[in-house]
Structure 1
């Protein structure tokens, strides 16, 4: 669309608005505290003779009310995510995942886990191998797909809970041993707490650095991204834990994230470790965006909420050829008077009206919906509008004319929420006391989600759901690995009550429990003890336990219910 057509459309929209709100009269730019209607948009520029005049609430030059059609050149934000590696329709989930969580990271887990087991003097610990560590990671993914209230239930003898695909991979004791000793960094090299080199994230630092590098390296930056916070639930003890009563997750770790606005792809994350993170006077929000935007290509649009937005931040990003849009708190410094709540009655906005002022490169827009919506942007013209559909109380849909900046903000801001939606679907979220384990699960989940999003660039998403992707990935990581050994049955005594079969199965329809002949001799579940071992080939067809045919088969099924 050429500039003439664009100007014509703008004029047509503005004429329609003027007719609708013709009872509003133009006001002078001498008083910026006035709130014009959408038919009388104020666009002002500050005098550039001094630094103080560059602030948006100081205007030295007075001019007639008019609507400018040009402020500064704004590019088209059309680039989507582009994988840097070559994939095809034959690419497997594990092929993509290994680019985000490569073999050397698995090897780090193996080496540090074995080292910590030695340092911790863990009893009866067999060193972990790479294949076993991959199988362990595969088990974590499967547990996220099939959550149970207690981890031990996956190995339960009750068929209602038992997960045969998990329990056949390794015994529960081995799983617990690996979890107990799992580590990412060498504890003996950790700096002293009083040392200037002390790092609160020391236990995770190698993986944080590698994953941030891989996430940005494997997929090119898109044109539209958002910056927001994620929460990782944790109720244990940690100085890093945050409490935010108004959030869905009230207690846990805060993570700053930069994601693609369309797909939710996570480019970069930073774990918040407390007030010490903010070393500059500009504030925490300013520093977070500044850090996460380092290395972004020119002509990228970033959206963030009112926690981050300020005039100084918008100017900093614009100087680095990065465009931004965000809601803003009315108590921020250097804001125009139109954002103030107290206004003369005859100048107050009615619903769906908006007002705008400009101090290059920043445009401030106030739109009245059910309540005030305040926006700062460097990527939108103050007079650009767009129709959106709004559902009314009676179910009907009406078209409402709103500023383009607000419509684009809504579309661009959802990247981190999209990522959180993926993360909450099948989370790797086992209870643990070690704070860093929860953060490790978050990073492992992030690698899986980014793999899935990248996988869908060459596959049809509808036929390869997130759930199926995770299941395939888990099975490919396990890859027929099994460390399962024959479990030795332990009995309390010769006539003990530890039968190993739930009463609901053992005593149900006893008449249909028929003896079958097995392939090998096994311990009799009823009479065999450590002191006197008795074996038989006879197996109950229903209970699937070995029982001596002469006496034990009958006595086992007639024994009183277990307490």
Structure 2
């Protein structure tokens, strides 16, 4: 996925590079630089500064964060945020005629497949929707007043109810054009697509009243060997009248109805209010004694325990949100994937290393250091900088060797590799050994070294 982003970003940079007077202002990117870019996005989320002006993050007056300017310049960061692309811009228009999600389809599908291959969720899962904040113009932008962001891009998710691992995702883009990507968006079809990674495994799915229907329960049982627990809207024609009418019922009372493989319960939490749930997992009228005088049915307490999987993922994402303000909707989806990747990777790490009690903030900080390390080591080789900045970069990159200026008095010296007595003016800025062009490895700026054309010095 990272290689694809690098390739597509360079295609776009090549297209816009004639607009820049200096070629170095629009130089192509590479894999270490994109990893460093994502690392800085995570770092801004850790410090809850993802919406902060970038000039304040790169400030060197003591109020900024050193790791930002030690890793990348502010101008380069802003440039990459403008040009980063997840698909080929030249072929996007043709692909969008068949798929509204074309600008991020490949990255999104690859990410979902990796999530499914990397972890096995527990016996209880939750299907719900999350809204990623977006105020730009797009036909499938949604308005949901009950959500914290209210306006945004809606994403359906299948999440582990215990560990909060995201197993499957689907972006709502409205009605797709005719073709392979066109599919029904009714609640039943959405759930049936999301549960495909766990079909026929005997797990339980918890959903809210927008998804719940008798047709969905029957199909999950008969074709997918999955049970369902969910709330039901009171306008469902299958509900008995007694379950909807609460005028004559006392507070904290419950009414049950039983059918083959299904149990229906109506609970009155307060006067004039009732909650209706259906379950294909429970088969009795058990009351949870732990609820005391409220006398809640066991079905309701189970629903309360397992309903919040997607909401918890949404909350965890908002705690260390790496999303920046943008009017490009593919970036909104990409930021969401980065947030989910941070959560899922922490869950996998904790499961594989139960003895290490590493909180998510520290885990993300380690992730940031690993993402930016390769690019920092490359920048630490640059010597056309003030000594104080150069030493700080070397320290941040973990390089113990100090880069000293060129020795005075020796312009040419014998090549270390040549058998004959040949002289060379190129030397390594780490070990100060001289080499002729036949034995020197010269790298470009996008790789691991830089050549100084004025002094004819070899940097690595």
Matched, 1:242 2:163: no
Matched, 1:442 2:346: no
Matched, 1:411 2:315: no
Equivalent residue, structure 1, for 2:133: 233
Matched, 1:298 2:196: no
| Residues 264 and 417 in structure 1, CA contact (< 8 A), matched pair in contact too | no
How big is each residue's C-alpha offset from its partner over 1:18-53, in whole Å with a ceiling of 9 and x where there is no partner?
Answer: xxxxxxxxxxxxxxxxxxxxxxxxxxxxxxxxxxxx
CA change 1:114–1:227 in 2 (3 A) is same
CA shift at 1:252, angstroms? 0.7
Larger radius of gyration, structure 1 or 2? 1
Matched, 1:166 2:68: yes
Equivalent residue, structure 1, for 2:282: 380
How big is each residue's C-alpha offset from its partner over 1:454-488, in whole Å with a ceiling of 9 and x where there is no partner?
Answer: 11113358831111010010001111533487899
CA shift at 1:399, angstroms? 5.0
Show the 5 A alignment for 1:174-253. 174-192=76-94, 195=97, 198-253=98-153
What is the CA–CA distance in structure 1 between the aligned matches of 2:262 and 2:124, rounded to whole Å? 18
| Residues 169 and 481 in structure 1, CA contact (< 8 A), matched pair in contact too | yes
Equivalent residue, structure 2, for 1:25: none
Q: Name the Cα RMSD after superposition.
A: 2.4
SS at match of 1:447: helix
What is the CA–CA distance in structure 1 between the aligned matches of 2:277 and 2:182, rounded to whole Å? 25
CA change 1:378–1:426 in 2 (3 A) is same
What is the CA–CA distance in structure 1 between the aligned matches of 2:384 and 2:47, rounded to whole Å? 24
What is the CA–CA distance in structure 2 between the aligned matches of 1:461 and 1:430, rounded to whole Å? 35
What is the CA–CA distance in structure 2 between the aligned matches of 1:194 and 1:136, rounded to whole Å? 27
Gaps of 5+ in 1: 1-104, 390-397, 490-518, 521-563
Q: Which has the higher contact order (CA 8 A, sep 6+)?
A: 1
Equivalent residue, structure 1, for 2:452: none
TM-score, structure 1 normalization: 0.62
What is the CA–CA distance in structure 1 between the aligned matches of 2:183 and 2:193, rounded to whole Å? 12
SS at match of 1:291: helix
1:430 to 305, 308, 324: 324
How big is each residue's C-alpha offset from its partner over 1:148-205, in whole Å with a ceiling of 9 and x where there is no partner?
Answer: 4212212224322x2111111111111112111101111222254884xx21111110
Equivalent residue, structure 2, for 1:256: 156
Equivalent residue, structure 2, for 1:120: 16
What is the CA–CA distance in structure 2 between the aligned matches of 1:146 and 1:486, rounded to whole Å? 31
| Residues 336 and 364 in structure 1, CA contact (< 8 A), matched pair in contact too | no
What is the CA–CA distance in structure 1 between the aligned matches of 2:230 and 2:128, rounded to whole Å? 11
Equivalent residue, structure 1, for 2:40: 139
| Residues 311 and 362 in structure 1, CA contact (< 8 A), matched pair in contact too | no
| Residues 134 and 151 in structure 2, CA contact (< 8 A), matched pair in contact too | yes
CA shift at 1:278, angstroms? 8.5
Equivalent residue, structure 2, for 1:323: 227
| Residues 357 and 382 in structure 1, CA contact (< 8 A), matched pair in contact too | no
| Residues 301 and 322 in structure 1, CA contact (< 8 A), matched pair in contact too | yes
Matched, 1:336 2:240: yes
Q: Where does structure 1 differ by over 6 angstroms across 4 or more consecutive aligned residues? A: 484-489
CA change 1:462–1:328 in 2 (3 A) is farther
SS at match of 2:290: strand
| Residues 114 and 127 in structure 1, CA contact (< 8 A), matched pair in contact too | yes
- Judge which range, 147-156 or 262-271, deviates more: 147-156
TM-score, structure 2 normalization: 0.75
Query: Higher helix share goes to which structure?
Result: 2
Gaps of 5+ in 2: 387-403, 406-460
1:357 to 224, 238, 257: 257
CA shift at 1:338, angstroms? 2.8
Equivalent residue, structure 1, for 2:368: 474
Matched, 1:312 2:215: yes
CA shift at 1:119, angstroms? 2.5
- Judge which range, 312-321 or 478-487, deviates more: 478-487
Instruction: Tell me the number of residue pairs that the alignment of Structure 1 and Structure 2 aligns.
Output: 370
How big is each residue's C-alpha offset from its partner over 1:427-456, in whole Å with a ceiling of 9 and x where there is no partner?
Answer: 012111211111101011111110001111
What is the CA–CA distance in structure 1 between the aligned matches of 2:355 and 2:216, rounded to whole Å? 37
Equivalent residue, structure 1, for 2:56: 153
What is the CA–CA distance in structure 1 between the aligned matches of 2:255 and 2:320, rounded to whole Å? 44
SS at match of 1:255: strand
| Residues 156 and 169 in structure 2, CA contact (< 8 A), matched pair in contact too | yes
CA change 1:295–1:146 in 2 (3 A) is closer
| Residues 350 and 368 in structure 1, CA contact (< 8 A), matched pair in contact too | yes
CA shift at 1:383, angstroms? 1.4
- Judge which range, 295-304 or 464-473, deviates more: 295-304
CA change 1:134–1:269 in 2 (3 A) is same
SS at match of 2:71: coil
SS at match of 1:388: helix
What is the CA–CA distance in structure 2 between the aligned matches of 1:232 and 1:111, rounded to whole Å? 26
